[in-house]
Amino acid sequence: MDIYEAIAARRTIREFEDIAIEDDTLERILDAGLKAPTNDHMRNWEFVVISDKNVRAQMVELIPKTVSREQIDEILAAWNLKDEGQRRMYYDAIPKQYAMLYNAGALVLPFFKQEHPLLAPKAINDLNGFASMWCCIENILLAAASEGIFGVTRIPFSNELEKVRTVIGHPQNYVLPCYLALGYPKKGAVINEQYHFAAKDRIRRNHW
């Protein structure tokens, strides 16, 4: 599969078969992440792979296992979301947050080194490490797609970040931007319809 095919194949999947990803396959996928552009040439990225279901359960216990339709209605109203396609995606996604992390074929915690407070930047270049980490994550998702493996990310709330640090004991100067769940899609897994945009409709020449 070439890069354009992998980009076209990539999908967000939240329902996985109960199949672990082989170590050599996962290492190959994470190696692709480590080839992403990096802000400081050093690729100060580390991956914690959570394969022990007991550790997973501890780490995600703050995430609700079930969310009612009424609760989702309130969330979407608070976010003021009106687009029907976007709303359908959230109605599918929100109740699956716990299960998608717990049941993934591989649960990866991607960390990047950050020596100053991420949420108190003084200039946009203070976010260079954060931006580079997301380049790494995108490489991982594309490499996974080329292997027939799909994934999903979840951005942790502040209390979840504290819980993760308690459970796995990572250094204070490493930041977790997201949980990364990878796996083989379950038969019949929901694939939300995407809107398709063409570059020619988004390109502006020489000025806005």
The pair of structure tokens assigned to 128 is 């260079």
Q: Could you tell me the residue range of the domain that residue 194 belongs to?
A: 3-201
Does 1 have pLDDT greater than 80?
no
Task: Specify if 152 maps to a domain.
Answer: yes
Q: What is the pLDDT of residues 7-52, one digit of tens each?
A: 999 999 999 999 999 999 999 999 999 999 999 999 999 999 999 9
- Taking the C-alpha atoms of residue 37 and residue 43, their distance in angstroms, rounded to an integer, is 8
Task: Specify if 105 maps to a domain.
Answer: yes
The count of structural domains within the chain is: 1
Q: What is the pLDDT of residues 107-138, one digit of tens each?
A: 999 999 999 999 999 999 999 999 999 999 99
Task: Specify if 207 maps to a domain.
Answer: no
Residue 63 pLDDT class (50, 70, 90 cuts): very high
**132 CB contacts (<8 Å, ≥6 apart)?**
36, 37, 38, 39, 40, 112
- Taking the C-alpha atoms of residue 6 and residue 146, their distance in angstroms, rounded to an integer, is 5
Task: Specify if 94 maps to a domain.
Answer: yes
CB atoms within 10 A of CB 104: 25
Q: What is the pLDDT of residues 67-106, one digit of tens each?
A: 999 999 999 999 999 999 999 999 999 999 999 999 999 9
- pLDDT score, position 52: 96
Task: Specify if 208 maps to a domain.
Answer: no
Residue 172 pLDDT class (50, 70, 90 cuts): very high
pLDDT (mean) for 191-206: 93
What CATH number does residue 193 fall under? 3.40.109.10
- pLDDT score, position 80: 97
Location of structure tokens 């990047």: 112
Q: What sections of the chain are H helices per DSSP?
A: 3-9, 23-33, 53-59, 69-79, 84-93, 97-102, 128-146, 158-168
Task: Specify if 206 maps to a domain.
Answer: no
The pair of structure tokens assigned to 22 is 């082989």
Residue closest to 105 by CA, chosen among 32, 70, 56: 56
